[in-house]
Structure 1
Amino acid sequence: MIGRTDALLDRPSGLRGLVVGYSIVGVTQGLVFGALVPILRSLFDGKVPVGWIVIAAVGAAASGAALIVTSNVGFYVGIDAMTDALMRKIGAHVTTLPLGWFTGPRAGQVSAIMSTSLQNLMSVPSVFLQQLTVAVTTPATVVIVTAFVDWRVAAVMILPIPLLYFFFRRIKTIVGPEHDREERIHTEVSERVLEFARLQPVLRASGRLTDGWDELNRTIDASRVSTRASLDRQNAPLARFVATVGLTLVLVLVVTTYLALGGELQTADAVVVMLLAVRFVEPLSLLGAYASGLRLADTALDSVTAVLDAEPLPEPAYPKEPSPVSVGDSAGSAVGVSVEFDSVTFGYDERPVLREVSFRCEPGTVTALVGPSGSGKSTLTRLVARFWDTDDGAVRIGGVDVRDMASSSLASMIAMVFQNVYLFDATILENVRLGNPTASDAEIHAAARAARLDSVVAELPEGWNTRVGEGGALLSGGQRQRVSIARALVRNAPIVLLDEATAALDAENEAAVGAAIRELSTGRTVIVIAHRLETVRGADRIVVLGDGTVEDIGTHDELIGRDGLYSSFFRDRTDAAGWTLNNKKSQNEKPRNEEVTVTQQKLGIEQENNG
């Protein structure tokens, strides 16, 4: 474990020094008991061994002082090496991993490592390592002292050591899998409880207040049975370990008594040996329990290693910078960069998502990505930010492959707004300023006005100092979205990626934010994913995606003039504008609104409500 920890930290952790310090504590404790030999011999002879008493007292004081010093050092090592250093290393490493690594339970895994695993590791230097070392060195010292009194008794002490070691290893082997099994069981129970709680509105609305309990009860019953079985499997080798230690004490006492009655062992020596035997088994009996702690520490190190071994996105040896271009006229010129997809092919594991996708987004323009769910729209925006690397082809910014750019440089050029917004449990001002910590108040207020966040702030009792709660839970979906948009705008990045950024806004605010985005597109390359037609038709260019390929590209008017999916949708929408439920249809005629719905689903665009 010590070698693994040193390797993870890339430096000495300090654990080896602690082992030496704790060993000194254990040895001195054993020697203090060893001093009882000359003390009791002298007392039985009617003498007072002042010298040996002083030596024993000094040894006890030295042992206590060493324990205090090493324990304090252990606390510092636990905080510095086992938590702070590893936590910082994990945090730094996670930021280099591709987003694809965070699929499935990975986010929960990192959270568990940062809390439970590192907490377990923090107690290793100050508590577990101390107890384990003392539990080994003190009995070892006692055996050596006993050998000077009578080698036969010392041999009896050593006799069960191989069997104890076997049980110790057995405990370590069993504890790890059983601990993992218990964690899975507890997770399942928690999920069932949360599920039952979330279903309360549905269950109560349908008058089925007790439905769901059966499944929850079955899960709880299974958890109880499995947990008891797990404890039984863990306790069996531990019980055998403790029983063997107890039998060792009995055997030592029997042999000592036999030797004393036979005159082969002096009375004083027999008393000392019995005291030493008690001191021998006392820490040894606890050693079995420490095997569980050792296994949990190994499991925690396994979890940390699994994260740190994950391959990050490769960084270029010689980073390149994009070539900016001037955008606009002399009165309002700006500098921007292009975004180009060149024969991009990409898939998640074995599932292909994009195939030979090629198009270019010019600076100062808004490009809308349109297509059904699963057509690859969101994936394209994430490839721009290099959340993943393409399987084939290239994504270029300003003519430079994103793989040839430094990650920090790439991140500074992109502002993103996702459909599912996450806000930190801080104030609105702090969440907006997160986009640009050096932004002035004037810049923040300008971004807020553009995102129509200023009207939200004006209505809140504490204004900009209103806390949003964890994840932004204290705000509505539309309010969270406006905070997110303002946060992206204040970055003043040359590339803005909007993934359903206006989905949580009503029609009026969506139109206002859409106008602000077009206004702010001067000098910026804006790529927007939207399903509402009014948002799409205002784009400079529309890219229609289908089944991972580009089906059509053009402006709204150009696409309408072609006989494609986009024009088909628009015609259906126009025809449906005057259609009402009172229209008479023959029994064999397919209702027109069904055709409209099918086309909308294919294209992934919502029809606005025309009343």
Structure 2
Amino acid sequence: MIRMLLQVLGPEFARPARRTMVLMTITAVVEGLSYALLVPVLRALFGSDPADAEPWLIAFGVAVAVYAVLRYRSDLSGFRVGATMLRGMYYRFGDHLARLPIGWYSANRVGEVSVMASRGLLQAMSVIAHLLAPFISACVTPLTIIAVMFAFNWQMGLAALAAAPIVAAVQIWTGRSMAAADAENAARGRAASGRVIEYLQAQPVLRAGGRTGERFRLLDDSLREVQRAGRRTALSALPGIVGLTLTVQAMFTALLVLGAYLALAGSIGAAEVLAILVLTARCADPLLSLSEIGGKLRSARAELARLDAVLRTEPLPEPAEPTQPADRSLEFASVTFRQNGRTLIDDLSLSVPQGQRLAIVGTSGAGKSTLLRLLARFYDVDAGAVRVGGVDVRAISTETLMRQIAIVFQDVYLFDGTIEENVRLGRPDADAADVRAAATAARLDEVIERLPDGWAAKVGEGGALLSGGERQRVSIARALLKDAPIVLLDEVTSALDPVNEAAVHEGIETLMAGRTVVMVAHRLRTVQRADHIVFLDGGRIVEQGDHDELLRAGGRYADFWDISVARVASK
């Protein structure tokens, strides 16, 4: 457990964590030694002159004061280190998630990552702040007291020590017997979190289907599984709790019988027996707490294991010696890309000269959006190379590559903040004049003027308080503010009404001016104005050329164009 904690923390946090653990161990030893002074205190009180107990009482008071100071310092250190680690781990976890390939984010990871980033991290990092001190105290303080017993009477010390392996065996057995139940409980919890998210996202579908008052069966089933898993976990913990309680009680009874026997035989005084029994009773409390602490530690260890597994997931590798792209041209050289056993791009070669516009059209699932994601290096290709400025994107640092590219997706995600904050994501250090200019070019100023709070208007989580066209304008303004030389557009007007489409189209034309552009588009005027058009099918280029050439060829593109014209005419 401790080894895994230090491994997950990394060298930056491992050193202060070790110092805190050493301080907690010293505190636990001092606690046990302070109780040892009860033996001479009781011996003097039951002796011929009770006044002899005074110096021992003073020593006991000093020892308790030292213990109190150490306990305060160790607890404070635990809280401080725990808070620092939690903050640091949030940054480390977030940075690592941002570097993982987009393909890692499968649908079932939504609930898993949300639980891990909230409850999981809190539970894992609470070990130092809340669990480590009582755990060390429960282990070290009783052992220190047993060592004191040896100093006063070896028979009593040996009898107390005999319980140690039994307690350890009970804890190990309990941990192993609960491992499966704990894992199932955690898995059910993650599944239920995913179902809750699914239930919230499915509200429009459920309500459209007239099921507003009906319980969501999948969510109900998932919550019932959580309840059953929790019941199984509680039942599997019961034998360990009972076994530990019986062991501690048996140890106390054995020491009582042995003490009485030794006292009657004259081998030990009644005061010593009483003091040792008091020490034994003091051992019982931390030992009995091991069951509760052990359960929490097992849960924390499971979260640490899951966290460690994510942190061990290899991100896309960064080049050891990054290369700067020579210009803003783009090239796909015999690119093949597979995902989940399916070939999405199959031996595709294509080039886009600097400053030109490439339009990619084709049927759904042809691999159009995948090409954009490969250019932005959301994934690495399985064969061939994707080049920017004549340089393989794998040889360009992520920071440099992202500075070259502005991306506008069809589905725009806005962070829960103001409009200005979301626009400034394109270039956080931009001055107010540049931000306003980008908004005007994207026709976002029209939206801002009609909102009561203007630039300070909240967009809601994911941009829920704005319409699709308004979100798209924010996205274009953000891309304009970034002022990147390469622009990737992914069907940005496919779901907009005519008014918003016209406004967004003007913003796109401003964004594309003088830049290298790759666009996935279905709209006629956007495709028609491209310098080069490729028709994709099954991850392969089946036709390419400019608009007029492809129409004269009378192939797949011509059919696509005729259907598009007919659709526009029917509206």
Offset at residue 488 of structure 1 (A): 0.9
Q: 1:184 to 1:310 in 2, by over 3 A?
A: closer
- Cα contact 1:13–1:77 (8 A) shared by 2: no
User: Which string of whole-angstrom CA distances, capped at 9 and with x for unpartnered residues, describes residues 425-459 of structure 1?
Assistant: 11111110110122233322222222221111111
- Cα contact 2:29–2:140 (8 A) shared by 1: yes
**Aligned twin of 1:581:** none
- Cα contact 2:111–2:194 (8 A) shared by 1: no
Q: Which amino acid aligns with 1:14?
A: P
Identical aligned residues as a percent: 40
**Aligned twin of 2:568:** 608
Give the stretch that moved more between structures: 491-500 or 306-315. 306-315
Offset at residue 138 of structure 1 (A): 1.3
**SS of the residue 1:415 aligns to:** strand
Matches within 5 A, 1:415-430: 415-430=406-421
Q: TM-score, normalised by structure 2?
A: 0.92
User: Which string of whole-angstrom CA distances, capped at 9 and with x for unpartnered residues, describes residues 315-361 of structure 1?
Assistant: 2232222223xxxxxxxxxxxx1111111111114211101212222
**Aligned twin of 1:117:** 120
**Aligned twin of 1:50:** 54
**Aligned twin of 1:60:** 64
CA distance in structure 1 between the partners assigned to 2:303 and 2:210 by the alignment? 46
1:483 equivalent among 471, 474, 477? 474
2:43 equivalent among 41, 44, 47? 41
Offset at residue 519 of structure 1 (A): 4.2
**Aligned twin of 2:512:** 521
Q: 1:563 to 1:503 in 2, by over 3 A?
A: closer
Q: 1:389 to 1:215 in 2, by over 3 A?
A: closer
Q: Which amino acid aligns with 1:610?
A: S
Q: Unaligned 5+ residue runs, structure 2? A: none
**Aligned twin of 1:583:** none
Offset at residue 310 of structure 1 (A): 1.6
CA distance in structure 2 between the partners assigned to 1:198 and 1:395 by the alignment? 36
How many residue pairs get aligned? The number is: 567
Matched, 1:183 2:186: yes
Q: Which amino acid aligns with 1:25?
A: T
Offset at residue 483 of structure 1 (A): 0.6
Matched, 1:398 2:399: no
**SS of the residue 1:358 aligns to:** strand
**SS of the residue 1:498 aligns to:** strand
Give the stretch that moved more between structures: 299-308 or 412-421. 299-308
Q: 1:360 to 1:113 in 2, by over 3 A?
A: same
**Aligned twin of 2:257:** 254
CA distance in structure 1 between the partners assigned to 2:569 and 2:181 by the alignment? 57
Matches within 5 A, 1:210-225: 211-212=214-215, 217-225=220-228
**SS of the residue 2:338 aligns to:** strand
Q: 1:294 to 1:520 in 2, by over 3 A?
A: closer
2:284 equivalent among 281, 286, 290? 281
Offset at residue 96 of structure 1 (A): 2.9
- Cα contact 1:415–1:495 (8 A) shared by 2: yes
- Cα contact 2:256–2:277 (8 A) shared by 1: yes
**SS of the residue 1:25 aligns to:** helix
Q: 1:318 to 1:273 in 2, by over 3 A?
A: closer
**Aligned twin of 2:155:** 152
User: Which string of whole-angstrom CA distances, capped at 9 and with x for unpartnered residues, describes residues 180-225 of structure 1?
Assistant: 3223323444555666666666666666666546665554444433
Give the stretch that moved more between structures: 432-441 or 57-66. 432-441
**Aligned twin of 1:381:** 372
Give the stretch that moved more between structures: 55-64 or 30-39. 30-39
Larger Rg: 1
2:329 equivalent among 332, 338, 348? 338
CA distance in structure 2 between the partners assigned to 1:226 and 1:3 by the alignment? 28
CA distance in structure 1 between the partners assigned to 2:371 and 2:210 by the alignment? 45
CA distance in structure 2 between the partners assigned to 1:217 and 1:108 by the alignment? 16
- Cα contact 2:29–2:141 (8 A) shared by 1: yes
Matched, 1:76 2:36: no
Matched, 1:29 2:31: yes
Offset at residue 176 of structure 1 (A): 4.3
Matched, 1:162 2:165: yes
Matched, 1:545 2:536: yes
**Aligned twin of 1:10:** 11
User: Which string of whole-angstrom CA distances, capped at 9 and with x for unpartnered residues, describes residues 246-270 of structure 1?
Assistant: 2211222222223334444322122
Offset at residue 56 of structure 1 (A): 0.6
Offset at residue 538 of structure 1 (A): 2.9
**SS of the residue 1:608 aligns to:** helix
CA distance in structure 1 between the partners assigned to 2:112 and 2:200 by the alignment? 24
CA distance in structure 2 between the partners assigned to 1:114 and 1:441 by the alignment? 34
Matched, 1:569 2:571: no
Q: Which has the higher helix share?
A: 2
CA distance in structure 1 between the partners assigned to 2:203 and 2:118 by the alignment? 31
Matches within 5 A, 1:279-318: 279-318=282-321
Offset at residue 46 of structure 1 (A): 3.1
2:272 equivalent among 269, 274, 277? 269
Q: 1:422 to 1:133 in 2, by over 3 A?
A: same
**SS of the residue 1:528 aligns to:** strand
Q: 1:366 to 1:516 in 2, by over 3 A?
A: farther
CA distance in structure 1 between the partners assigned to 2:519 and 2:246 by the alignment? 70
